[in-house]
Structure 1
Amino acid sequence: MILDCYQCSACYFEDKEPSTRIDPATISQSQPRMDFRDVLVIFVCMELYDDRQELMQAAEEFGALSDLIGKRPIVLCPNVHLSIDRAPERQASWLIAELEKMLVAKGYDVHCLSFGYHKRYGMECNGNVGSVVGRRFYGTEEKQFLRLLTRLGVCPPDSLPDSMPAWAKSLTERRLKVLASRKETYRVAKQMLRDQLDAAGDSELWTCMLFEGERQPVDDYLSALYEIIEDYPDVKIHRAMNLSVSGFSNAARHLFRKYPEVIESGRLRIYNSQVSDIEFLLTRTAVLLAFPQIPKKAGSHAGEISFGIYCKNDDFSKNLIQWYRTFLVDSRFGWIRTESELNTVISELEEEQFQDRAEDLEREK
């Protein structure tokens, strides 16, 4: 649940038209224009997995808020646009009604605005700009993380907090380590690689834009990859590359010509990836996400690494292998097995870029 709060000396709200994107049965009766003075306006968005626990927490905190700014009437305005993880309409309308009841029971004068309408409104405030009281997010760490997992496709959309996979507890139990600098991120990455290359038996690496966001990304990547292929024949590498970038598409063609037997045997597996703002390294025992300081621009590689997030946990890593396949790898093309398939993929991506540029030019006209 998200509450966006404003202290207003005067405000008005007016229903314009009902939404066409939600279940008509959940749309409440239209209200005439309503004017208020000296109120606390709260834009409220109910999210997936919200229940009475979040409502009770919010209602309790209004006591502290009243001590801060004084007790005044509350205007509750549904605002679905505060979150992309919004609750279904029936759940959201019921929860907002329950929140209203809780606040009334605590002695607040509450005005709940209609649900399911596009609104015209205006607010006048004294004091600081907008008289923003604050934006507050409610929900346990487990619920917040489950929203992320469903958004990434790791868990089904109808998953419940109690059904969160056991490996996900690696995050909620704070086993993640934040690497606050580029130097520390590189140190961990090199150690992860060394652990795999020195391991006895078969090793496997899953990579995406593996530390390519530096001065000469393609050259750095190729030199490291050549070393692994030539000196460590028991290591299997899954390599996701953004083939819409000419430097990487040319590098992929070179790999198919330089190591045809390695690719044919499956030791080196090439994929297309549409990911543009993270670098990723996964082994069977650890995972590292590295984030660039400057987001990747279209047609170029990522910027210099700024910080990383690292987790060393066997169960967590094992389950992220599936996430790699479904999220980081372009599912339209999958594993690219031959140079002929590679050329077809690159041609399709080039055609997509051409069409996108044509559409952009058309819009500019």
Structure 2
Amino acid sequence: MILDCYQCSSCHFEDMEPSTRIDPATISPPQTRASFNNVLVVFVCVERYDGREELEQVATELGSLITMLGKRPIVLCPNVHLSIDKAPEKQAVSLIGELDKLLKERGQEVHRLSFGYHKRYGLECNGNVGSVVGRRFYGSEHKQFLRLMTRLGICPPESLPSDMPSWAHVLMQRQLKVLGNRRETYEAAKMMLQEQLDATGQGELWTCMLFEGERQPMDDYLSQLHTILHEYPDVRVHRAMNLSVPGFSNAARHLFRRFPEAIESGRLRMYNSRVSDIEFLLSRSAVLLAFPQRPRKAESHAGEISFGIYCKDDDFAKNLIQWYGAFLVDSKFGWIRTESDLDAAISELEEEAFEQGQEEG
């Protein structure tokens, strides 16, 4: 719930036309021009998922404002334009009515303005401390996170906190571990590789650009990855690299020539990726995101790894693996199975880069 508050020496409001973009059943009866003196004007926007908790917080905050400013009436004016997460009209009308009632129960004088009209109004503010105050009340952490999930399109607007996917609870419960430097990030990567070697049954790893952009790669990390390809036939490795960058296309050719049997059997699966400024290592039970120290420069990788984020959670990893296939892997080329397919992909990407350079030039 959002409040936009003004301490006014005088103000007036007049309904003009009803809105044509909301449910007509929620539009209030029209009000004639109303003028007020020495009041607190509160524009209020009810947001999706607001409820009793937010009402209590708003009533308490307005009580504190009145105490600071001195006793005066409150003019309550609905304004749905304060938030892109605005609630459906029926919910908004109901909660504004409850807020009106709650404030009056707490001894406040309240003038509630109509809902659903374009208004002509004027405000004259005192220009002292407290003349303009903005507040937003998010409610519980679950509601805050659900609002984000809704905005990203992961959850439909009518979802409740209990409807969020199980992997989202990992983020809400702060199970992510921040790795504060390059060394810790490498150690997490090596640990994830070792877990695949120690696991019973078939292991599987998904990588994207992982540490390939380092100016001085950690040989022990890359050696361990190569050891998996040489000596552990039950571990499958997915490797996505930005083949439009010459250094990475050469590295991909090297992998095809060094591990032909792994390529042919599908234990090493190569992909192109358009991503070049973040790095991933995924397993079925853990996620590592590695972030660069410097902003990405044209035609190059971002630079040495600065820090990482690590999470060990099966559900979270499962969903990011799906994201890997849908977002990190370039669907235009898909799984590159042969060296001739690799050469064709690299040639096409080089041609695209050349044409883009010509257009920019």
TM-score normalised by structure 1 residue count:
0.68
Answer with 1 or 2: which has the greater Rg.
2
Q: Could you say which residue in structure 2 is the equivalent of 1:351?
A: 352
Maintained 8 Å contact 1:153/1:326: no
Contact 2:51–2:95 under 8 Å retained in 1: no
In structure 2, what is the equivalent of residue 194 of structure 1? 194
Residue of structure 1 aligned with 2:100, choices 101, 104, 113:
104
SS at match of 2:192: helix
Alignment-derived partner of residue 230 in structure 1: 230
1:302-355 CA distance string (max 9 Å, x none): 354444332223343334322332343344443333344443476258538845
Alpha-carbon spacing, 1:261–1:45, altered in 2? closer, same or farther (3 Å): farther
SS in 2 for 1:79: helix
2:203 maps to amino acid: S
Aligned-pair identity in percent equals: 55
| Offset, 1:58 | 3.7
Mark the CA change 1:38 to 1:162 in structure 2 (over 3 Å): closer, same or farther: same
Where do residues 148-187 of structure 1 align in structure 2 (5 Å cutoff)? 148-149=148-149, 159-187=159-187
* Alpha-carbon separation, structure 2, partners of 1:220 and 1:123: 70
2:348 is paired with a residue of what secondary structure? helix
Summarize the alignment of residues 66-85 of structure 1 with structure 2, pairs less than 5 Å apart: 66-67=66-67, 73=75, 76-79=78-81
The aligned amino acid for 1:207 is: T
- Shift of residue 116, structure 1, vs aligned partner: 10
Secondary structure, counterpart of 1:210 in structure 2: coil
Structure 1 segment 78-93 matched on structure 2, within 5 A: 78-79=80-81, 86=85, 91-93=87-89
Q: Does 1:46 align with 2:47?
A: yes
CA contact (8 A) 1:243 1:273 kept: yes
Task: Look up the match of 1:309.
Answer: 309
Instruction: State the match for 1:138 in structure 2.
Output: 138
RMSD of aligned C-alpha atoms?
A: 5.0
* Match in the other structure for 1:284: 284
* Letter matched to residue 348 of structure 2: S
Contact 1:103 1:110 in 2 (8 A): no
Unaligned 5+ segments in structure 2 are: none
Taking a change above 3 Å as real, the CA distance of residues 167 and 66 of structure 1, as seen in their structure-2 partners, is same
Q: Deviations over 1:208-265 (max 9, x none)?
A: 2324454356999866643432344332112222334343334334433443432232
Q: How far is 1:138 from its partner?
A: 0.8
Tell me whether 1:323 sits opposite 2:319 in the alignment.
no
Provide the secondary structure at the position in 2 that maps to 1:190.
helix
Q: Do the aligned partners of residues 268 and 138 (structure 1) sit closer, same or farther apart at CA in structure 2, a change above 3 Å counting?
A: same
> Residue 306 and residue 222 in structure 1: after superposition, are their counterparts in 2 closer, same or farther (change >3 A)?
closer
How far apart are the structure 2 equivalents of 1:346 and 1:115? 59
Give the Cα–Cα distance (whole angstroms) in 2 for the partners of residues 339 and 13 of structure 1. 73
Q: What residue in structure 2 maps to residue 242 of structure 1?
A: 242
Alignment partners' CA distance in 2, 1:78 and 1:212 = 49
Q: Give the aligned residue type for 2:100.
A: V
Task: Look up the equivalent residue of 1:259 and give its one-letter code.
Answer: F
**Which 10-residue stretch deviates more, 215-224 or 234-243?**
215-224
Contact 2:8 2:123 in 1 (8 A): no
- Name the residue aligned to 1:334: 334
2:204–2:283: 8 Å Cα contact kept in structure 1? Answer: yes
Displacement of 1:281: 1.9
Unaligned runs of 5+ in 1: none
The structural deviation recorded for 1:183 is 3.7
